[in-house]
Structure formats: C-alpha cells, structure tokens
C-alpha cells in the first residue's frame, strides 16, 4: 500500500456457521477451507450481517467489516447505497447442504414492513420462536451451483400437482384433491396447500405414512426416491408432500437460479454460492421442527405456477464476465473465468471470492493483493477500478 492513500483491498476473515444440516466435507474439499474439528461447515458468511460479520485488516489492525463501513458509509458504499440502505445491502454465502433445509417463503418488502411493525407493536421479542419478522426487509436470493445442487423452487403447474396426488391416491386426501381438480386455479391451490399444511394428528400421520409407503415402492422414479430420502431426515413431516406441489430441480455446476419473494423453495442438497438481501425473514412451510404459521405463510405466498423451463437463470456475457441480471436493487452477481489484466470498475462496495485458484488484484496506485482459493476480499466503492488476474473462476458480489 502506498503511504497516504486509503487502502483498496481488504482480505476477509469470514464466519463459518456450523448448522446441523451442513456438510462436514464439501467446503473444505471444494474450497480448501480448513476443517480441523470435522465440524458441520454449513455456510461461510461474507458480509456485514450482525449474526456473522466478517473481519478485515485495516492498517494492520483486525476490525469488523461493519465498523469499517460505518466510519464512512458514503465513501465505502456510495452515497446512493448509504441513503437507500444505510448498510451493505447484501450477504454473500457459500452454502453446503448435507441435508435438506426447511421449505420456506420470504415476504415481499411491503409485507415485511407491515409484519415487522405489527410484531414490534405486539411486543413479541425478536428472538422468540413464534416471531416471523426479524427485520422490515425482503429477501430475494440467487443460488449458483458449485456441485450438483438439488432444490425445490416455485409451484408446479397445477395440472401436474393434481396428477401427482391422483397417482399417489391417498384415501384421507381424496376430497381435497378432488376439490382442487375441480378448481385448478390460484385460489384452488391456496385452499389445497393450506389444507395439507394444516393436517393434524391422526389424519396427518395416516397421510404421511401412506405417502411414504407409495414412495418406498416407487423409488425408481427420482421424485419418489427424493421423498424417501427426505423422510429419512424429517420422519413424519408434513413437508414431505411439498415435492408433489413444488418444482424439484437439480442445478448442474455453473448453473444458477433466482428465488423470488413470496415463492416457496427449499435447498435439498449440494454446495453453491448464495447471494441475498440483508434479511432474516423466513416463513417456514415444512421439513422443519420449527414453528409454522400457516395463516401468515399463506398471506405471504403467491399461488402461481412457475414453469419448470423458466427456473434457470441465463447470464449475459459482457465486460469479460458472466453477468446475472438480478431483478432487485439489493445485489448483483457476476462470474469471471480465467482472466488476465481485466479492468473492472466498481459502482458499489463489492466482495470477490476465489473459487479455483489464486486471484490477484492491482490498483493503479500500486497496491496489490493476492488471495488464495476459498478466500475473499472486500473492495470499497471508492476504489473506482481494479485490475484482475485469475487462472480459475472468481465470483463477484456487488450492488
Ligand atoms: Zn430462502
């Protein structure tokens, strides 16, 4: 670093969340991140979220990224981001699902604002188990697969859901399925979906065990093999019905998809990058021992089918990288593959993650830094531009 000029590149020290569903091996094998204690390495968090803020070294001293940003938000984030968001508006993650995460829906911005205000007014503690809204923000997400990555995303075409339930033919559900078949509309799906999630006691047990019996006998079909696998992780869970209602997709490495607000989804297994708005608002809909608020969930869900062939995100090739045209302001995502002396201009604070190889950044004032595979670097907006060299892939989060 040249004396007197502000530092440009800040290698990051990131928190690894050891959630129980996390793989013990994927992150250390894929990204050469040490795991001496054989822990569940579920997620690496890169960002300034209070539940797992990254650290950077500033002038030789280790400091929280959030503290560094707060010293001069306008310079680090840009004036526009500082005004609009008041913080780094995104959280960037590596996520390694050894087991399924819960089926979930994230509210829209408007719903989150109303829901948050309502729960604040009602005095429900933010850490309470029955608290739905931890903040007033929406939480759109993008996932980019590093390994084959199995997930559920969005409702199937209504006719498909009806056909699947008719095929499984569970006596206690016959009336519900017939009602949906006679009203195969958004309203019909809403009624059907709420009724399934609201099943209780013996009815629920009978329905789930009939599903499992059918699935066990039909495992040559990948969908039913998935249900059997999920039942091993979440026995008796009502969420075992969600693969019949939601698109089940396996992204191949390098493929990506977007998860819209108000759309049910779940990550089932695999390792990927995830970038999301800075929010913790999750309404759960199954595959979880946690609280399910069916009424609030239904209020926040769009009962629309998402055609399977529209799930995947096709990036645009430009400026030496692959750019994903994200339909929200909170974050953007791009990927560079083997670049030499590529000039990248910054419009915001950004985070680069080295996926395969060493990555070297150089600033025109002479500062240079090299990070290794699995490491990340924070770049404030004031840097304006940097020169990038990498033999492998580099993921770029910005806004
Ligand atoms: Zn989600």
pLDDT digits (tens, 9 = 90+) for 65-123: 999 999 999 999 999 999 999 999 999 999 999 999 999 999 888 888 988 899 999 99
**Mean pLDDT of all residues in 17-21:** 87
User: Given this model, what pLDDT does residue 1 score?
Assistant: 41
Q: In percent, how much of the chain has pLDDT > 90?
A: 74
Joined tokens for residue 330? 């909170």
| 281 CA distance to ligand 1 middle (Å) | 9
Strand partners, 73: none
- Topology, domain 104-313: Phosphomannose Isomerase; domain 2 (1.10.441)
| Span 335-347, pLDDT tens digits | 999 999 999 999 9
Q: Which residues contact 365 (CB under 8 A, 6 or more apart)?
A: 2, 5, 8
User: Given this model, what pLDDT does residue 186 score?
Assistant: 97
Domain ranges of the chain: 104-313
Mean pLDDT over each residue of the chain, to the nearest integer:
93
Going by pLDDT thresholds of 50, 70 and 90, the confidence category of residue 38 is confident
| 153 CA distance to ligand 1 middle (Å) | 10
**Mean pLDDT of all residues in 166-192:** 97
Reported pTM? 0.92
In the chain the first and final C-alpha atoms are separated, in Å, by: 26
| 264 CA distance to ligand 1 middle (Å) | 8
Length of the chain: 399
- Three-class SS of residue 214? helix
Enumerate the active-site residues: 284
The span from the CA of 175 to the CA of 56, in Å, is 59
Strands 376-379 and 368-371: unpaired
> Are the C-beta atoms of residues 23 and 254 closer than 8 Å to each other?
no
| 6 CA distance to ligand 1 middle (Å) | 37
Predicted confidence (pLDDT) at residue 4 exceeds the cutoff of 60: no
User: Given this model, what pLDDT does residue 58 score?
Assistant: 87
| 211 CA distance to ligand 1 middle (Å) | 26
Strands 359-362 and 385-398: antiparallel
User: Given this model, what pLDDT does residue 28 score?
Assistant: 86
Strand partners, 296: none
Joined tokens for residue 248? 């089940």
Predicted confidence (pLDDT) at residue 124 exceeds the cutoff of 60: yes
| 51 CA distance to ligand 1 middle (Å) | 17
> Which residue has 């089926």 as its token pair?
103
Joined tokens for residue 241? 């019905």
| Span 211-252, pLDDT tens digits | 999 999 999 999 999 999 999 999 999 999 999 999 999 999
Q: In terms of Cα–Cα distance, which of 342, 354, 347 is closest to 273?
A: 354
The span from the CA of 240 to the CA of 271, in Å, is 22
Q: What are phi and psi of 75, to 5 degrees?
A: -70, -40
Give 236's DSSP letter. Answer: T
| Span 262-304, pLDDT tens digits | 999 999 999 999 999 887 788 888 888 887 888 889 988 999 9
> What sections of 218-370 are H helices per DSSP?
222-233, 242-245, 294-299
The gap from C-alpha 388 to its chain's centroid, in whole angstroms, comes to 27
| 208 CA distance to ligand 1 middle (Å) | 24
Angle between helices 201-217 and 222-233 (to 10 degrees): 130
């Amino acid at each position: 670093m040249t004396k007197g000029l502000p530092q440009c590149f800040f290698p990051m020290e990131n928190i690894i969340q050891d959630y129980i569903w996390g793989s013990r091996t994927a992150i250390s094998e894929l990204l050469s991140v040490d795991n001496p204690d054989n822990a569940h390495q579920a997620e690496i968090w890169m960002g300034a979220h209070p539940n797992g803020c990254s650290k950077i070294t500033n002038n030789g001293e280790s400091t929280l990224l959030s503290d560094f940003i707060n010293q001069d938000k306008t310079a680090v984030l840009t004036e526009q981001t500082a005004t609009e968001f008041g913080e780094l508006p995104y959280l960037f993650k590596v996520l390694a699902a050894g087991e399924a995460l819960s089926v979930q829906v994230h509210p829209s911005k408007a719903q989150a604002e109303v829901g948050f205000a309502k729960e604040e007014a009602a005095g429900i503690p933010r850490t309470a188990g029955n608290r739905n809204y931890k903040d007033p923000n929406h939480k759109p997400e993008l996932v980019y697969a590093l390994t084959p990555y199995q997930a559920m995303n969005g409702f199937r075409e209504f006719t498909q859901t009806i056909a699947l339930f008719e095929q499984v033919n569970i006596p206690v559900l016959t009336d519900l399925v017939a009602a949906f078949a006679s009203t195969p509309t958004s309203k019909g799906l809403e009624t059907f979906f709420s009724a399934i999630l609201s099943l209780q006691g013996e009815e629920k047990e009978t329905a789930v065990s009939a599903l499992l019996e059918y699935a066990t006998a039909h495992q040559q079909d990948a969908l039913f093999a998935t249900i059997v696998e999920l039942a091993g992780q979440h026995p008796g869970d009502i969420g075992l019905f969600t693969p019949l209602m939601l698109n089940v997709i396996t992204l191949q490495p390098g493929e990506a998809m977007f998860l819209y607000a108000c759309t049910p989804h779940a990550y089932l297994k695999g390792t990927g990058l995830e970038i999301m708005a800075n929010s913790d608002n999750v309404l759960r809909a199954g595959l979880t021992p946690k609280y399910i608020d069916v009424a609030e969930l239904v209020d926040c869900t769009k009962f629309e089918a998402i055609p399977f062939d529209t799930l995947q995100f096709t990036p645009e090739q430009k400026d030496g990288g692959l750019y994903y045209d994200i339909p929200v302001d909170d974050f953007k995502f791009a990927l560079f593959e083997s670049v030499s002396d590529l000039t990248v201009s910054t419009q915001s604070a950004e985070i680069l993650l080295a996926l395969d190889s060493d990555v070297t950044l150089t600033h025109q004032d002479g500062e240079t830094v090299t990070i290794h595979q699995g490491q990340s670097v924070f770049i404030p907006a004031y840097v304006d531009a940097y020169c990038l060299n990498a033999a492998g892939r580099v993921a770029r989060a910005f806004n």
